[in-house]
Chain A
Amino acid sequence: MNKRRPYVRPMDGWWRKNPYFVEYMIHESTALFVAAYAAVLLFGLLRLSQGEAAWNAWLNTLGSSWFILFHLAALLAISYHTYTWFKIMPRTMPPVVIGGERLPAWAITGTGLAAAAAACLGLLAIVWGMAR
């Protein structure tokens, strides 16, 4: 008689069992803030299409303390999202070989973060210029 009876361990709550997975779930969940912020912006675009009064009402709503709180939370979450996005980037792309040497992971992450920072500053500068 076959006495084998392989035991399969349950996967319930798998992500709570290792700090690495907890961090993974946190950084994945920051994507919800990216989606929420995109929804707020898209709604603004819709209000813009409905005329000046609608647009101003939307701007007014954004000025409420709840929305300012949401924006602060979104800024934090999206910053962390950006950081983890570029942190995993070296693992997701083909090797970059420059002058016969493989570009190290920190250089890829650093370039990504620098590009993100430059894009943010550039956007801020443009908006600043338009607002003056």
Chain B
Amino acid sequence: MSEHSKIIEIEVLRYNPETDKVPSPQVFEVPFTDDMSVLQGIQYIKDHLDGSLSFRWSCRMAICGSCGMMINGVPHLSCETFLRDYYPARVRVEALNHFPIERDLVINMEGFIKKLESIQPYIIPKEPRTLAQGEYLQTPEELNRYEQFSSCINCMLCYAACPQFGLNPEFIGPAATALLHRYNVDTRDGAKEERMELVHSEEGVFHCTAVGYCSEVCPKHVDPANAVNQNKTNSAMDYFLRFISPKGGAK
């Protein structure tokens, strides 16, 4: 940050749970250069204008998934969104939509973490395997089936883009379903049936009305809407196939 020739207005939705009843906007005038991200603008505010501003960030290179915010009403990673693209207009920054605001730009992600745990996001082998049996082998085609869905960085932009999640916070939602799908289609995994119980459930995929905005905003091109909608088909298949081949114990 050598020279600051331009000044941009950044409007931040502030919320202090100890003093505020409702969040309210506060405008800061931030000097910026063309290479500055919105995150750097927010960091400037914290370092020079108001040290009480709270927000999450870590890697600054769109891989940790911490710095998601609503920027002019659109969910973005603030580290890969640039102030120059908004100048000379004011930039509006707000905590991710559809999540409770803990403080300023920090959301409460407990619900999401619970969902993530519930889908068992790890490979559960079909049968125990000894070291002597060696590694699992997969063809490139088998890898292709899940690779895209494994790119999720848990940034929750898709939840901020999903009105159905906003209306029903119990909905398992885009990212958790994408990861669920990622493990279900992995040839090394054997826990599909357990995870399908979640897909079929009240909180499962049928809350989705195919708005598709989750996939639009995904910074990693995971296309979570595709995972959700493929699993509507899978769920319907399971429902009808049980008449032909009863599995026993099906709920």
Contact = CB atoms under 8 A, between A and B. Distances in A.
Contacts of A91: 210, 212, 215, 223, 225-226, 229
Interface string B40-78: 000000000000000000000000000000000110000
Nearest to B217: A20
A8 B102 CA distance: 9
Interface stretch (A9-17, A39-47, A73-81, A111-119): A9-17
Interface stretch (B2-10, B14-22, B130-138, B239-247): B14-22
A90 B215 CA distance: 11
Contact of B163 (A3, A9, A21, A102): A21
Contact of A18 (B22, B73, B101, B225): B73
A6 interface: yes
Interface string B95-122: 0011011100000100000000000000
Nearest to A21: B163
A64 interface: no
Interface residues of A, number: 26
Interface of A: 3-9, 11, 14-15, 17-18, 20-21, 24, 28, 88, 90-95, 97, 100, 102
Contacts of A6: 17, 100-102, 108
B229 A93 contact: yes
A71 B17 CA distance: 56
Contacts of B225: 91-92
B180 to A, nearest CB: 15
Given A20-B213, A21-B213, A91-B225, A11 B100 contact: no
